[in-house]
């Protein structure tokens, strides 16, 4: 099957590479010439385990191509997948301008019947608008139908999640579109759930918002655990054996971040409001998460007189391990507060440090100063206080004794419950975590 993919971010690039891996002829389209040349050389513009290996393999096999020439890319394809961003707007709604741009480019370029498949997360009803928009701007007498095919990958395991998904969701309005999508996914050998377009759009939001609800619920319970003397890890373990609840997304911490949960909870809340309905559960998840992000900092403020001139070690910057993505990462909120209050920060992250410097360049920022270390141990050297924001394996391997030996004051605020309370206390570390 000849496939084009618009957009080479987490959604588009991973989808395109995995389609090629399953034998399809794939052309990935991006507006950035520099990015295209990088991908042609087998280099991924995003940090994602296993992606570059598959890119090089399928580049060499001649199944995977990259271009900025959208007209040529879309001209003769069987299917065109849209995987561009739908960023959050100030009011919580989704910005659909990139979707509109690609839709018009497709309308002006296609020379044969084809199926346009929206993989981007879009509000319910968007696929209907995309189909009408394409028909409004079609230059040739061809048949173009639109289908919904939301992605459910997690950053850090995106390739695995795509190749070994629990299910494929397809939303179509005709038997022909359904059959074509099933043919595209047949080599994957995965269960396919076929619904109408609006249901497919809603499934994406319903899944992401349910997981966000689960995280915020556990964080809320963790905060109560601290007040009543319970241990959130023990509570989560006890809950995990209940098959109605499951073991995933029960880990308490300093809130969710990334490209999906924050944006999708706000978008669904906005959609409900536009239709005269209040999603109280989703609103609660948003509110809990917003407060949870700086909970560690607020704890530290009760302990410290000031951060002015203090040496602060920060371990972990990405919103989760396995990615260099900083969207909605708790580290951004906390480091901003620390710098505003005069802290001297040394930060470590094995993947996201370079991206973080776009927000906070090395050197003086506001009243404080930030530098970046190559190892956790270097970040801890002579520190007065340490914050843990991401549970990278490199950070997990830091022993309690290392905090005691390296830090001037062994004072640790752990937002991911990485370490054992007992072991940290026995090592002489003053240790604060979430819900324990």
Angle at 179 between CA 176 and CA 180, to 5 degrees: 85
Render the burial of 23-54: b for 16+ CB within 10 Å, e for the rest: ebbbbbbbeeeebbebbeebebbbbbeebbeb
Please tell me the pTM assigned to this model: 0.92
Going by the DSSP 8-state scheme, the letter that residue 417 receives in this structure is -
- Summarised one tens digit per residue, pLDDT across range 149-161 is 999 988 889 999 9
Q: Checking phi first, is residue 269 left (phi over 0); if not, alpha (psi -120 to 50) or beta?
A: alpha
Residue 232 sits in the same domain as residue 360:
no
Domain count, the chain: 3
Task: Find the CATH number of the domain harbouring 231.
Answer: 1.10.1040.10
Q: What is the mean pLDDT of each run of 10 residues along the chain (436 residues)?
A: 96 97 98 96 93 97 97 97 94 94 98 97 96 97 98 92 96 98 98 98 97 97 97 97 96 93 94 96 96 96 97 97 95 98 98 96 95 98 98 98 98 98 98 97
218 lies in which domain range? Answer: 203-292
Residue 154 sits in the same domain as residue 233:
no
What is residue 345's three-state secondary structure? strand
Q: Residue 96 corresponds to which tokens in the numbers above?
A: 């659909």
Residue 161 sits in the same domain as residue 82:
yes
Catalytic residues, by residue number, are 260
Residue 103 sits in the same domain as residue 211:
no
pLDDT of residue 32: 94
Residue 107 sits in the same domain as residue 41:
yes
Task: Find the CATH number of the domain harbouring 91.
Answer: 3.40.50.720
Residue 219 sits in the same domain as residue 365:
no
pLDDT of residue 155: 87
pLDDT of residue 259: 84
């Amino acid at each position: 099957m000849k496939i084009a993919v618009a957009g080479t971010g987490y959604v588009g690039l991973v989808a395109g590479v995995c389609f090629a891996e399953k034998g399809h002829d794939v052309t990935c389209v991006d507006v950035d010439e520099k990015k295209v040349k990088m991908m042609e050389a087998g280099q991924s513009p995003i940090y994602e385990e296993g992606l570059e290996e598959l890119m090089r393999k399928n580049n060499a096999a001649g199944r995977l191509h990259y271009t900025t020439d959208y007209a040529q890319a879309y001209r003769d394809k069987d299917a065109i997948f849209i995987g561009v961003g739908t960023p959050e707007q100030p009011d919580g709604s989704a910005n659909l301008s990139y979707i509109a741009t690609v839709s018009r480019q497709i309308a002006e370029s296609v020379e044969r019947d084809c199926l346009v498949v929206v993989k981007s997360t879009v509000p319910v009803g968007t696929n209907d608008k995309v189909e009408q928009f394409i028909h409004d701007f079609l230059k040739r007498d061809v048949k173009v139908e639109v289908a919904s095919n939301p992605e459910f990958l997690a950053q850090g395991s995106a390739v695995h999640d795509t190749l070994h998904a629990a299910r494929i969701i397809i939303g179509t309005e005709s038997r022909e579109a359904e059959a074509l999508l099933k043919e595209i996914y047949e080599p994957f050998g995965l269960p396919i759930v076929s619904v109408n377009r609006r249901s497919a759009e809603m499934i994406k939001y319903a899944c992401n918002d349910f997981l966000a609800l689960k995280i915020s619920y556990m964080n809320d319970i963790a905060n109560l655990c601290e007040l009543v003397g319970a241990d959130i890890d023990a509570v989560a373990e006890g809950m995990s054996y209940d098959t109605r609840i499951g073991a995933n997304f029960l880990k308490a911490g300093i809130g969710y971040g990334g490209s999906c949960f924050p944006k999708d909870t706000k978008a669904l809340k906005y959609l409900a409001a536009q239709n005269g309905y209040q999603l109280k559960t989703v609103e609660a998840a948003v509110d809990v998460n917003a407060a949870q992000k700086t909970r560690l900092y607020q704890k530290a403020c009760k302990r410290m007189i000031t951060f002015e001139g203090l040496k602060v070690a920060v371990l972990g910057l990405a919103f989760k391990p396995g990615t260099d993505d900083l969207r909605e990462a708790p580290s951004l909120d906390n480091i901003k507060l620390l710098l505003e209050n005069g802290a001297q920060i040394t930060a470590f992250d094995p993947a996201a440090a370079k991206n973080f410097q776009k927000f906070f360049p090395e050197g003086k920022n506001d009243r404080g100063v930030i530098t970046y270390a190559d190892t956790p141990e270097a970040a801890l050297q002579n520190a007065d206080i340490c914050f843990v924001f991401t549970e990278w394996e490199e950070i997990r391997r830091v022993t309690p004794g290392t905090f005691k030996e390296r830090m001037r004051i062994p004072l640790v605020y752990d937002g991911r419950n990485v370490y054992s309370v007992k072991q940290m206390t026995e090592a002489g570390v003053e240790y604060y975590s979430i819900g324990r």
